[in-house]
Amino acid sequence: MLSLGRNPGQYLVINNNIIIQVVSVDGDLRLAIDAPKEISIVRGEIYEECHAVPQCLKRLKEKSMRW
């Protein structure tokens, strides 16, 4: 898993067709995501209502508890 710090206006490009841009960090982090229509984008808490928690997130949660 990649963990980065970004400032407002900065962005990430994934697979040449998904852009995730930080639009605000005032109080809450706000992201803008631009992806093709065929790519599903779902908030984590909604995803977990219908699916098992992905193994990579289980590991991340375990690490954050140790910090």
Report field, pTM of the whole predicted structure over 0.85: no
Instruction: Specify if 41 maps to a domain.
Output: yes
Instruction: Specify if 4 maps to a domain.
Output: no
61 vs 33, residue with greater confidence = 33
pLDDT at 20: 96
pLDDT tens by residue, 38-55 = 999 998 888 888 888 778
Sign of the torsion formed by the C-alpha atoms of 39, 45, 46 and 50: positive
| Tally of structural domains, the chain | 1
pLDDT at 66: 60
Cα 44 to its chain centre, rounded Å, is: 9
Residue 44: domain span: 11-66
Alpha helices in 13-53 (DSSP H): 44-50
pLDDT at 35: 97
